[in-house]
């Protein structure tokens, strides 16, 4: 055989084998695609047949794909919820978030749902879903309620004795974080300043000295939330089965894990040291009074492992820092927008301090106008459009016969409820302090009080366990800023627009405010 011929035959054979290989690969690919699509469609069919039937808001035409509505909801949540509440007044409707459908129910159901056990209606389940527990590492909350227990049974009852500690840290933080103004107006990013004030106070109360002055811990406690939320925001737009593949490609996901390692590196040795100090029985031993110590004391063997306690501290920072910062920032924006409230508030602070003699729980308790102001600020600039988010864990029939199938993600349109309850979209800083003068209503309208109309801290068994601390902290920060500084928007600027990211509302972090240290007080 001609050698040329034999090489041609060989190359034909090779190319045939390659074609066959490609064909097999193609067949395998198509088969996998068919299997995945079939499973997806079956799952979707099952979910749809079991889901509560209610109209979607934000749908432009009947066959519009849900991911498209979800994509719009991610930026137009405000409009979707306003439309739903207006159109289905006191009725039930759905909003499409990219990762899930959320059934929006009227607040009249809150009273019968808020005390249901976790096995029937799960708050933690909703947190896990909203915060993608596995990817944000929030899933540690599922291991037990140590953090909530300690906040409720230790921090809240001991707040009175923590006020002087909070004041000391706040004074230190203001010196560190607010640039000197030398009697002139200074243009600052007030959000960033408040963020650092809140992080420092939270650290003082959560982990005590000297860690509360450790810059690496402060940065980690602030940035962890940002890294976690960026990861969540990206993953939410993708189907769940892609999460394990995509998450490791995200720098923010790795940042979350770096933050966790940093938390363990900083906090775990402190836990070990404190445990050793206590066991040593040294006569001079003084037990620290902070959240970390209360957790060490209350933890069982598993929750009390140093790394677990470090992890919970990080998660607590996520719950506490940005939420409180937003509330203070909105209140400052409202003070700039409505300067007529400044002097009456300063007068109330001066009078309360004169009567109380010093910064104390009772002194802060006298500041009804300030409490009202921050509640009104929260009413018009809430942290979230939806609250009381819960997952129905078993089919549930409500008192009016409505049956919610297992797996339904429910929520109440907290922002619309509170704004609708007042029938008033104008800012009235002292509306709640006036109301508290009515007999029997002294406590009803406080910032930290929750009920079916005031849902920005949730309500019931799983309402925010840090809200009383948050209320004192916010009042302390605002009153100190008010007494020591003048604030105003730069010429021509006004209250910044609020951004929405799905149901979460965010102040514009680039907002600038002019501040000037007050002199001659
Ligand atoms: C203005 C500031 C704050 C707002 C608006 C806020 C709001 C909320 C809301 C809406 C919930 C869910 C409640 C529910 O589902 O019924 C929650 C839960 C929680 N909050 Fe807050 N919060 C704030 C500050 C704080 C602070 C300062 C802490 C810690 C000291 C804290 C710790 C927590 C924790 C640990 C949970 C989860 C509870 C659980 O695991 O069941 N929060 N918060």
User: Tell me: the pLDDT tens digits for 134-149?
Assistant: 999 999 999 999 999 9
Q: What is the pLDDT of residues 193-215, one digit of tens each?
A: 999 999 999 999 999 999 999 99
The ipTM assigned to this model is: 0.99
Mutate to test the pocket of ligand 1, among 153, 198, 457, 507 (most ligand atoms within 8 A of CB): 457
Closest CA to 200 of 161, 237, 229, 171: 171
What residue ranges do the domains of the chain occupy?
99-517
What pLDDT shows up at residue 105? Answer: 96
Ligand 1 center from residue 198 Cα (angstroms) = 15
Distance 108 CA to ligand 1 centre (A): 22
Which residues, 6 or more positions from 123, have their beta carbon under 8 angstroms from its beta carbon? 389, 390, 458, 461, 462
pLDDT in tens, 98-108: 999 999 999 99
Q: What is the pLDDT of residues 463-476, one digit of tens each?
A: 999 999 999 999 99
How far does the centroid of ligand 1 lie from the alpha carbon of residue 319, in Å? 6
CATH fold for domain 99-517: Cytochrome p450 (1.10.630)
* pLDDT, greater one: 89 or 288: 288
CA–centroid distance, 449 to ligand 1, in Å, is 13
| Ligand 1: centre distance to CA 322 (Å) | 11
Pocket test for ligand 1, best of 156, 410, 467 (most atoms within 8 A of CB): 467
pLDDT of 23 > 80? The answer is no
Binding-site residues sit at 464
Is residue 133 within 8 Å of residue 416, measured between CB atoms? no
Phi, psi of 135 (to 5 degrees): -95, -25
- Tell which atom from ligand 1 comes closest to the C-alpha of 474: 1
Which residues, including other chains, have CB under 8 Å from residue 124's CB and lie 6 or more apart? 118, 141, 142, 462
Which residue's alpha carbon is nearest to atom 22 within ligand 1?
464
C-alpha distances (whole Å) from 520 to each of 469, 483, 484, 485 are: 32, 12, 10, 12
b or e along 374-393 (b: 16 or more beta carbons within 10 Å of the residue's beta carbon)? bbbbbbbbbbbbbbbbbbbb
Instruction: Please enumerate, by residue number, every residue annotated as part of a binding site for heme.
Output: 464
Pocket of ligand 1 (CB under 6 A): 123-124, 141, 147-148, 151, 316, 319-320, 323-324, 327, 383, 387-389, 456-459, 462-467, 469-470
């Amino acid at each position: 055989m001609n050698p040329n011929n034999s090489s041609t035959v060989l190359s034909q054979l090779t190319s045939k084998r390659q074609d066959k290989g490609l064909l097999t690969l193609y067949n395998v690919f198509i088969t996998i695609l068919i299997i995945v699509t079939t499973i997806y469609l079956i799952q979707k069919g099952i979910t749809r047949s079991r889901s509560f039937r209610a109209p979607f808001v934000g749908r432009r035409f009947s066959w519009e794909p849900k991911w498209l509505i979800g994509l719009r909801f991610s930026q137009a949540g405000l409009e979707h919820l306003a439309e739903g509440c207006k159109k289905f007044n006191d009725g039930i409707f759905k909003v499409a978030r990219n990762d899930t459908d959320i059934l929006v129910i009227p607040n009249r159901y809150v009273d019968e749902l808020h005390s249901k056990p976790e096995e029937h209606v799960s708050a933690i389940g909703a947190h896990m879903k909203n915060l993608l527990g596995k990817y944000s590492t929030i899933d540690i909350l599922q291991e037990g309620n140590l953090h909530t227990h300690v906040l409720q049974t230790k921090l809240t009852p001991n707040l009175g004795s923590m006020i002087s500690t909070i004041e000391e840290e706040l004074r230190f933080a203001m010196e560190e974080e607010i640039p000197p103004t030398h009697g002139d107006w200074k243009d600052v990013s007030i959000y960033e300043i408040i963020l650092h004030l809140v992080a420092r106070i939270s650290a003082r109360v959560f982990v005590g000295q000297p860690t509360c002055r450790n810059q690496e811990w402060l940065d980690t406690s602030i940035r962890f939330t940002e890294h976690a939320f960026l990861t969540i925001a990206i993953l939410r737009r993708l189907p769940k089965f892609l999460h394990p593949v995509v998450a490791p490609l995200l720098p923010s996901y790795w940042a979350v894990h770096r933050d966790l390692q940093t938390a363990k590196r900083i906090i775990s040795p402190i836990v070990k040291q404190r445990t050793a100090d206590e066991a040593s029985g040294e006569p001079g031993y003084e037990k620290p009074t902070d959240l970390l110590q209360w957790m060490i004391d209350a933890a069982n063997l598993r929750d009390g492992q140093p790394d677990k306690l470090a992890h919970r501290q990080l998660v607590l920072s996520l719950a506490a820092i940005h939420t409180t910062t937003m509330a203070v920032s909105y209140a400052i924006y409202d003070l700039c927008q409505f300067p007529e409230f400044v002097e009456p508030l300063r007068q109330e602070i001066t009078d309360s301090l004169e009567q109380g003699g010093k910064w104390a729980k009772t002194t802060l308790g006298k500041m009804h106008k300030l409490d009202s102001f921050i509640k009104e600020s929260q009413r018009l600039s809430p942290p979230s459009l939806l609250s009381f988010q819960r997952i129905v864990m078993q089919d549930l029939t409500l008192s009016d016969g409505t049956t919610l199938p297992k797996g339904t993600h429910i929520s109440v349109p907290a922002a619309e409820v509170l704004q609708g309850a007042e029938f008033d979209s104008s800012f009235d800083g002292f509306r709640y302090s006036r109301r508290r003068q009515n007999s029997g209503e002294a406590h009803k309208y406080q910032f930290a009080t929750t009920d079916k109309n005031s849902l920005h801290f949730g309500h019931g068994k799983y309402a925010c366990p840090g809200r009383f601390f948050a209320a004192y902290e916010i009042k302390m920060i605002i009153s100190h800023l008010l007494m020591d500084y003048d604030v105003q928007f730069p010429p021509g600027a006004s209250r910044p627009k609020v951004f929405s990211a799905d149901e979460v509302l965010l102040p514009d972090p680039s907002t600038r405010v002019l501040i000037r240290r007050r002199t001659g007080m």
